[in-house]
Amino acid sequence: MKIINDKALLFRLRDTSKVTSVIPKSKDVGDNKVVVHWGLQEAVSLNALDIKAPSPIEKLYKWTGKYKPFDHQISTASFFTLNKKAFCFNEQGTGKTASSIWASDYLFNKKQINRVLIICPLSIMDSAWRDDLFTFAPHRTVSVAHGSSEKRKKIINEGSEYVIINYDGVAIIADEIKKGGFDLIIVDEATHYKNAQTTRWKTLRKLITEDTWLWMMTGTPAAQNPTDAYGIAKLVNPNGVPRFFGAFKDQLMYKVSQFTWKVKPTATDAVFRALQPAIRFTKEECLDLPEMVFTKREVELTAQQKKYYKQLKDKMVMDITGEQVTAMNAAVSLNKLLQISAGAVYTDEGSTLAFDIKHRYKVLREVIDESSQKILIFVPFKHVIDILTDKLRGEGITTEVIRGDVPAHRRTSIFKDFQESVNPRVLVIQPQAAAHGVTLTAANTVVWWGPTSSLETYDQANARVHRSGQKHKSTVVQLQGSAAEKHVYKLLDKRINVHAKFIDLYKEILD
């Protein structure tokens, strides 16, 4: 195989939402297979490049049966095989998992690798990765390293070709992993490694050698802040970033005040250079999905909610008059306003004050009754999940809960039943617990009981229904009953980082 790497064709993307450059394709030239390596410019489409022949992977695996991969998945898989260390920034729901499985299987067949370690969120170890491996590489051996330390060690030493483990599990058995012969590491939802100061990041770094294949995948490489690119770039492309984080931050941002930094106009270019080599496809480029509609529903706060909301807001006004506001205490205060609006607030003493949620619940029931398919309800606050679930079940609506304290095997069972069985009809989900990687296309309605402050979590959660396999028009319903909720939803709708706007948001709400 002859590799052509024509750097003249590596064009720069100007849009930070498309921080990507390299997409491989192939064509036959006589008896030789020639792989052409190029980048995408905004004005250049794949069709305009007029290279449509199948890739080496597609030639190797003659796709038959019910499933036929999309062209973008073949391109992504080919890209992986050409880059020992690389990023995949394909959008949620575009089949990154399948592409990486095909690519790694190809490397197995070519005797380039012996074992694969897959690091991913706890919630998708079974429901996404193991299931997909059984589907797309059923001839390979797969194990999930979860449970006690001794159990994890035993699984590592059993010698399965693919071992799946959660982020924090890596540190527990790092020595065994180091000796386990893993020459390909796949990191799903790689933004969990954005901070190079964490034990999680340092543990992974020690496992990576010059010969290790490393593929890091996420649809949102720098969703909250351009500096989020530092940790993942330092793992894949360490020469593309400064040695220290402070120097990288100075490249991308400038300091306005003690707690405020602004993004420099040159930040896009710097992030682009750092996150290389990379590939990205958006859903619009490669999937023909039904429409996704966003709508808001007004909810009246109860008298009790209004009373406590006003008391807290009055206190915030006094704080801002005394010029005591920082980003941290602004975030705390705003979070309490959101808690009151949602139905339960956590006091400074650690107890929980629950409110009557009848108005919000009434609107939710209207949405449920109007939905033709199943429903996902994202609830940001744990205590509200308990209240809401009891009410739904009390009215005979089959409901299951996904949150941080639900064991991995139980989550897998719930997801499977939701997708394949009549019941449950409703999933009540803590956003961080199931915002990534899970396919829940049995639902076509997403309800936000209250807003999340994370744009990445918001996008990822909505993508659980708007992905390959969805046959119905999808609807995202935002329940809003207070000024705080309306302002946060407004930022999310405009794709503005809420975390960077806490002080501005604080002042807007008080006005």
* Chain segment 474-506, per-residue pLDDT in tens: 889 999 999 889 988 988 888 876 666 655 665
Is there a single domain that holds both residue 269 and residue 245?
A: yes
Predicted pLDDT at 499: 63
Which of these, 369, 356, 355, 354, lies nearest to 297 by C-alpha position?
Answer: 369
Same domain, residue pair 371 and 494 = yes
Residues 277 and 307 in one domain: no
**Domain that includes residue 497, residue range:** 292-510
Domain edge (last residue) among 286, 304, 333: 286
Looking at the structure of the chain, the number of domains it has is 2
Nearest to 404 by CA among 382, 436, 379, 378: 382
Q: State both tokens at 153.
A: 């060690």
Is 90 found in the same domain as 70?
yes
Q: What digits encode the pLDDT tens for the residues 22-68?
A: 333 333 323 322 222 222 222 222 222 233 344 444 444 444 343 45
Strand partners, 29: 32
pLDDT at 48: 27
Rounded-to-integer distance, Cα 96 and Cα 186, Å = 11
> How many Cβ atoms from other residues are within 10 Å of residue 54's Cβ?
18
CB atoms within 10 A of CB 341: 26
Lowest mean pLDDT among 107-121, 189-203, 328-342: 328-342
Residue ending a domain, among 223, 257, 286, is 286
Supply 492's token pair.
Answer: 């999310």
Query: What's at 335, amino acid-wise?
Result: N
Show the DSSP H helices in 110-148 as ranges.
131-136
Residue 482 falls within a domain, yes or no? Answer: yes
Say whether both 299 and 427 belong to one domain. yes
Do 207 and 343 lie in one domain? The reply is no
Same domain (yes/no): 385, 271: no
For the whole model, what pTM was predicted?
0.62
Which amino acid is present at 411?
R
Residue 122's pLDDT band, with cuts at 50, 70 and 90, is confident
Task: Give a yes or no: residue 137 inside a domain.
Answer: no
